[in-house]
Chains A and B, each alone.
Chain A
Amino acid sequence: MSAWLQQVLHRGQAISDWLSPVRRQALQALNDTTWPGRRTEQWKYTSLSAVEDLALATGQSQSQPEVETIDGIDSLDLLFVDGELRTDLTTLNLPAGLHVSQLEQADALHQVAATSLYAQIKPKRHLFGLVNDVLAQNILFIRIEQDCHIQQPIRIISHSSDGHESHQRVLVQLGNKAKASIIEQTQGQSNSLSTGFTEFDLGEHAQLEHYRLLMHTKQAIYFGGCHFCLHDQARLDSTLIGYGSQLSRTDVDVIHNGEHANAKLNAVYLLAEGEHFDLHTTIEHAKPNGTTNENVRGIVGDKANAVFNGRIHIHRDAQKTLAELNNRNLLLSRRGQINTKPELEIYADDVQCAHGATVAEIEEEALYYLRSRGISRSQALIMLNFGFIQELINQMPNQQLAHWLAPQLRARFKEMEVR
């Protein structure tokens, strides 16, 4: 076991609140876990050696980060700094039907609701998810009443600053026929470790527009997860944008727990020199007539390392499932690396399912043409492939957000150029 995990267990034992029963279960599971190494399937291509003996500050942070507003979006901003919720919830002017609370201060009714979510959607196999179960404080609970359509996007910004370790948890519950848009955004570039896990429960006919913008980079170490449970006719439209960093790992789970649910997952990763990014997605089709459309595309810079594992599991009863998974990659340099693995596991006989993964073949003639006009090889590669990233950005339902992202992604592309 790593010294760091031992510390986690030690700290976990000291926490006592009404979530303790769940926390204790997670503690027990962690106790029984062996620290992942190269032979651990889930961590085969992502080394945790940087975490093993890590010792960072876990107390309150003095940091006062700047948070950029998104032009054209009047979002309801909730700011976490090193795991601590900085937004005063009592001052929020919330639209009818939207409830935002901190679990520690929640009333009995919300506590009951939260108990049905906390560590209930997120599968227990995620090591850092368990760590988060044990250590998360300031747990945010967002509840949208049934039939309520919340127009204002809810934005959760998580900042990690130098020398800090933090664990942040969010629970989101959409009642039947409720509608909402949630933007989760990380930032921070310095030496830090953060975990950020969110569980979403989408009621019948509920619709969620979701964005996870993993914009932390450089020295930041991050372990995160988005876990969605979809009931009958629920619709999820999720876009994940990931920069790489020293170590960044995200697990996404979508559980089709009702019939005729629809999940659209788009993900883009853009890794600059030497960065690491690992995305594991699992789609569980447990009920019939579900649809999943997953498109994951990435560009990997010099000496950068991308890992994608996309699993679709169609249970025996999940007849008439339509599931598609596609992963396309482009390597900007021979020293970049991508490990991609789509996995289909199908136990129903009447389903349509397709998957594929490619590492882009460079269009030599187009490349030559652009270079013959003075454009460098890697810049030309980026231009030729911005289109395939742009295609997913264009599909984002919130075009203002796409508009805000575009110049940042272009700047990111510049950083990725191999010189």
Chain B
Amino acid sequence: MLTIKNLHARVEQKNILNGLDLTIQPGEVHAIMGPNGAGKSTLGYVLSGREGYEVLDGEVLLQGENLLELDIEERARHGLFLAFQYPVEIPGVSNMEFMKESVNTMRQQRGEEPLSAAEFLKKAKAACQQVKLPLDFLKRGVNEGFSGGEKKRNEIMQMILLEPSLCILDESDSGLDVDALQVVANGVNSQRDGKRSFVVITHYQRLLDYIEPDFVHILANGKVVKSGDASLAKQIEKEGYAFLGLDSSEEAKA
């Protein structure tokens, strides 16, 4: 599904990713943990193609396609989805209009007919209910006036509607209470079908109680320093990152 080899990237003249390797097979769930400043969010942005994130070296293949050569929108059309940690508010563009445009673009990419307004509405309502957002959120401006938790749920709703092949969740658990956390986790789990892959970026083991990962990677100083199974996350929860012998200044900085 996704192969990252020796990825180096920088933001504003600062090297953040320093030779990151990661391979993800279809259907797998990979959790990425690590101290603040390790490059977790940067990884998501670099993969999505955000401007200002400069790739210095390395290779990224998504389903055999050279991801780094594609525009932001083309990456999305090739099945990449990034659930943002801080989704932006866009007053004046309704959630509904936004998602309909987006869903139909994806359908077009897959050679499918665009959905009619009625067909789309039906799907959108179902997705909205699944993430427990009131239906009038569809009519509201994108994320406009949404609480932190509502924004996260809105991201998951988009993920459900867009049917991507690789989902990257950037701290989708941060700032959520237990109920909201379950909604997000259930949303993700409902999309696990043995083919779709997930990268779950998180600080805490907590989310991984609900979304069980196949692999856990620890990211520090821009590369994967340790990989393991779900038990690695539990170990970190207990002992922190100290046992990895990392420079503690990275953590202190946050």
Contact = CB atoms under 8 A, between A and B. Distances in A.
Interface of A: 364-366, 368-377, 379-380, 383-384, 386-388, 390
A374 B77 contact: yes
Contacts of A366: 88, 90
Interface string B204-242: 000000000000000000000000000000000000000
A227 to B, nearest CB: 34
25 contacts: A364-B51, A365-B88, A368-B50, A369-B87, A369-B88, A369-B90, A370-B90, A370-B93, A370-B98, A371-B76, A372-B50, A372-B75, A373-B99, A373-B105, A373-B158, A374-B73, A374-B106, A374-B109, A374-B162, A375-B98, A377-B73, A380-B73, A383-B97, A386-B92, A387-B93
- The DSSP consensus for interface residues of chain A is helix
Contacts of B97: 383
B162 A373 contact: yes
A332 to B, nearest CB: 15
B191 interface: no
- Residue from A372, A373, A390 having most chain B Cβ neighbours under 10 A: A373
B57 interface: no
- The DSSP consensus for interface residues of chain B is helix
Nearest to B93: A383
B102 A373 contact: yes
Interface in B35-91: 48-51, 71-73, 75-77, 82, 84, 87-88, 90-91
Contacts of B247: none
Contacts of A364: 51
Interface in B133-150: 142
A375 B92 CA distance: 16
A371 B73 contact: yes
Contacts of B77: 374
Interface string B109-145: 1000000000000000000000000000000001000
Contacts of A386: 92-93
Interface residues of B, number: 29
Contacts of B82: 372
Contacts of A377: 71, 73
Interface of B: 48-51, 71-73, 75-77, 82, 84, 87-88, 90-93, 97-99, 101-102, 105-106, 109, 142, 158, 162
B48 A383 contact: no
A329 B87 CA distance: 27
A384 B101 contact: no
B51 A368 contact: yes
Contacts of B51: 364, 368
B92 A387 contact: yes
A380 B98 CA distance: 9
A297 to B, nearest CB: 13
A372 B92 contact: no
A24 B102 CA distance: 60
Contacts of A379: 101
A364 B48 CA distance: 15
B105 A374 contact: yes
B48 A375 contact: no
A67 to B, nearest CB: 28
A384 B93 contact: yes
Given A369-B84, A375-B105, A384 B92 contact: yes
Contacts of A390: 92
A388 B91 CA distance: 11
